[in-house]
Amino acid sequence: MKTQLNKYVIALMLLISVSCYCQNSSNNEIFINTNNLITIDLISKELVGTSYINNEFIPGKISNQKAVYLLRYNAYKDIMEMELNNKPYYFPLSTNYSVTFESLNKTYQVLDYKEKEITKKGLFVVVFIGEEISLFLKEKIKFFEEVKAKTGYDKYKPPTLKRVDDEFYIGYKNSSALALPNKKKDIISLFGSKATEIESFANENKLGFKSEEDLIKIFRFYSTLK
């Protein structure tokens, strides 16, 4: 088993030349670097739902690689998984690369963002790219703990992974992203000196700040302003 794991390490190191992660076919997760192997037991086998936006691996291209690989996005863990030799691997978000799935007409970009005041990297769906600011979407899957039956009338609810509402982010040239606020006035303020023009454009065209279609029109209009 140790020899087999070492082969996996070598294959992945040759591929991306970074410290990385490997997930085996069971519910165990193995962190791999040059120093150690640590096995972490994951969630109960009674888990309902999926971590993935698309369960199947599909061809995708990583911006810093020439080859096409079989990939899938794990939205719960916010990682991109790769299939090699019928085994899934994933790698850390160490650089601001992108992953493109031509069959889905979809690109994921690694960006820096804050969650609960902690700065981290994550994968965001590209919605609109502008010279100054861009629009991204954060796909989210959330884990819900099991609910045990307290009485004979209650029903047991297993641990569940469930797709929750996606969130829009505004992206900047320094590869950072900021979640769009809930209030219209706070979103408009993100456009700085062009805020008044953005508000007028949105009002005149009856555009809101919640739908992807309307936001694309607003961001596209902003990109025309000088």
Type and span of the H or E element at 58: strand 58-62
User: Tens digit of pLDDT for each residue in 92-112?
Assistant: 777 788 999 999 999 999 999
- 133 three-state secondary structure: strand
Give yes or no for residue 26 having a pLDDT over 80.
Answer: no
Pairing outcome for strands 160-172 and 48-49? parallel
Encode pLDDT of 113-134 as tens digits.
998 889 999 999 999 999 999 9
* Average pLDDT for 135-146: 93
CA–CA gap between residue 70 and residue 82 (Å, rounded): 6
Alpha-carbon torsion angle 90, 94, 97, 99, nearest 10: 10
pLDDT, one tens digit per residue, over 160-211 is: 899 999 999 999 999 999 999 999 999 999 999 999 999 999 999 999 999 9
| CB 169 within 8 Å of CB 177 | yes
**Entry pTM:** 0.79
